[in-house]
Homo-oligomer: A and B are copies of this chain.
Amino acid sequence: MELSHRKVSKKVRFVDASGNALANKTVSVKQTNHSFLFGCGAFEFIPYVLNGDDEHKVLTEYWLDVFNYGTLPFYWGNFEPVEGQPRTEMTMKVAKYLADKNVKVKGHPLCWHTVCADWLMKYDNETILKKQLERIDREVTGFKGVIDMWDVINEVVIMPIFDKYDNAITRICKEKGRVGLIKEVFDKAHECNPDAVLLLNDFNTSINYEILIDGCLNAGVPISAIGIQSHQHQGYWGKEKLEEVLERFSSFGLPIHFTENTLISGDIMPAHIVDLNDWQVDEWPSTPEGEERQAKEVEEMYRTLFAHPLVEAITTWDFRDGAWLNAPSGFIRKDNTAKPSYEMLKKLIRNEWWTDTTVTTDSEGNALIEGFKGDYCLEADGRSCEVKFTDDTAVDITI
């Protein structure tokens, strides 16, 4: 697997505080974070940060040992169940907790027809859109600096034809059209935080989504990255489909984020289920064979995605089993023990794709550092400094 796009090969000249070359020294080069976003749903941090219970403490420790990127929920119906009473304070507390732990946070989503606020439905379409844009302003402006990455709008391919139940967002999407609504919500988010990473996100990976993105880009929608969901409750896509999806969506030249990945460690959901939400089961156990399979699939999928130059983020959706659909979809079992998939991913992220080495400088203080892109702590002579390595440009570093 060719991974040069994930690495730097950097000429560094080490000097001391007086500007003298650190000649013939051993420098310890320890990676402290990845540039690549290895993410997971961070929903478990909410009860922990708010209540501090031991059960969730263990969970969040497991989480922080592997991931540097978390998704926090902003479902309108839950975030603001009563109009005018948003759960801003609670969510901000959790987001800041994660940011303090050096975790990048993404808000999910700003606009979606599901888990939408029912109270919106009493308004006419013009008012619904106005409130949608005000909501985006409130969240994107309010969380700026803490959350600078957003799933702006979710599942638009199906949005105007979604007919399981009436909701305010399908109504305005029907009226404005898909690209029209996308443009409105993206323009507002971009206006409120021009530096934010703004994602379009969908589970539909067909030609429909390609054409939608194509239209959006030609209409000037400020999409920063293409979000692709990959909930594989009905079985692993496999390397071939993964590569085919990557090839098709890389044609836009935009970064690609795998935003919602699921690989389960139990029985596979039957193929005839179209809307995954229709599969309601009381028990969906994780099995030993399932856990071995899941670990292998996690490995192949993460390796395949990490090898593709345009992929910048992979988020696994459920951290612990029994979350969405009660599925065995986590890295952690219901009893808070780690599955093989957890150990596998930790090995990849914190060992195989992680740099922890030493270099020795020459007589002029020069050394070549080769390592995975990310943050580093460099140490020599008992002194240290923090640096970020993202490209091959030569630099002077003072320790």
A interface, CB within 8 angstroms of B: 157, 161, 174, 177-180, 183, 207-208, 211-212, 214-220, 251-252
| Contact yes or no, B208 A178, CB < 8 A | no
Chain B residues with CB under 8 Å of A179's CB are 211, 214-215, 217-218
Chain B residues with CB under 8 Å of A207's CB are 157, 161, 208
Closest 4 CB pairs of A and B: A215-B215, A218-B219, A179-B218, A219-B219
15 residue pairs A–B, Cβ–Cβ below 8 Å = A157-B207, A161-B207, A177-B214, A177-B252, A179-B211, A179-B215, A180-B214, A180-B218, A183-B218, A211-B212, A212-B215, A215-B215, A215-B218, A215-B219, A218-B219
A218 and B212 alpha carbons, distance in the complex (Å): 11
A216 and B211 alpha carbons, distance in the complex (Å): 10
Chain B residues with CB under 8 Å of A208's CB are 207-208, 211
Chain B residues with CB under 8 Å of A211's CB are 157, 178-179, 208, 211-212, 215
A214 to chain B, nearest CB (A): 5
A310 and B293 alpha carbons, distance in the complex (Å): 55
Copies of chain A in the complex: 2
Chain B residues with CB under 8 Å of A214's CB are 177-180, 212, 215
Starting from the known contacts A179-B214, A179-B218, 11 additional A-B residue pairs (CB-CB under 8 Å) come to A157-B207, A177-B217, A178-B211, A178-B214, A179-B211, A183-B218, A208-B208, A211-B211, A215-B218, A215-B219, A218-B219
Q: Considering only CB atoms, which chain B residue lies closest to A212 in the complex?
A: B211
A177 and B214 alpha carbons, distance in the complex (Å): 7
A174 and B247 alpha carbons, distance in the complex (Å): 12
A252 and B160 alpha carbons, distance in the complex (Å): 13
Q: Considering only CB atoms, which chain B residue lies closest to A177 in the complex?
A: B214
A157 and B212 alpha carbons, distance in the complex (Å): 12
Q: Considering only CB atoms, which chain B residue lies closest to A180 in the complex?
A: B218
A161 and B206 alpha carbons, distance in the complex (Å): 12
A217 and B215 alpha carbons, distance in the complex (Å): 9
A219 and B219 alpha carbons, distance in the complex (Å): 4
Chain B residues with CB under 8 Å of A220's CB are 219
A233 to chain B, nearest CB (A): 24
Given contacts A157-B207, A161-B207, A207-B161, contact A177 B218 (CB under 8 A): yes
A216 and B217 alpha carbons, distance in the complex (Å): 10
A176 to chain B, nearest CB (A): 10
A212 and B177 alpha carbons, distance in the complex (Å): 11
| Contact yes or no, A251 B215, CB < 8 A | no
A156 to chain B, nearest CB (A): 9
Chain B residues with CB under 8 Å of A219's CB are 215, 218-220
Chain B residues with CB under 8 Å of A212's CB are 211, 214-215
A128 and B220 alpha carbons, distance in the complex (Å): 26
Q: Considering only CB atoms, which chain B residue lies closest to A178 in the complex?
A: B214
A211 and B212 alpha carbons, distance in the complex (Å): 6
A234 to chain B, nearest CB (A): 22
A111 and B161 alpha carbons, distance in the complex (Å): 31
Chain B residues with CB under 8 Å of A157's CB are 207, 211
Chain B residues with CB under 8 Å of A161's CB are 207
A187 to chain B, nearest CB (A): 12
A287 and B41 alpha carbons, distance in the complex (Å): 64
Q: Considering only CB atoms, which chain B residue lies closest to A248 in the complex?
A: B161
A186 to chain B, nearest CB (A): 12
A252 and B157 alpha carbons, distance in the complex (Å): 16
A134 and B220 alpha carbons, distance in the complex (Å): 27
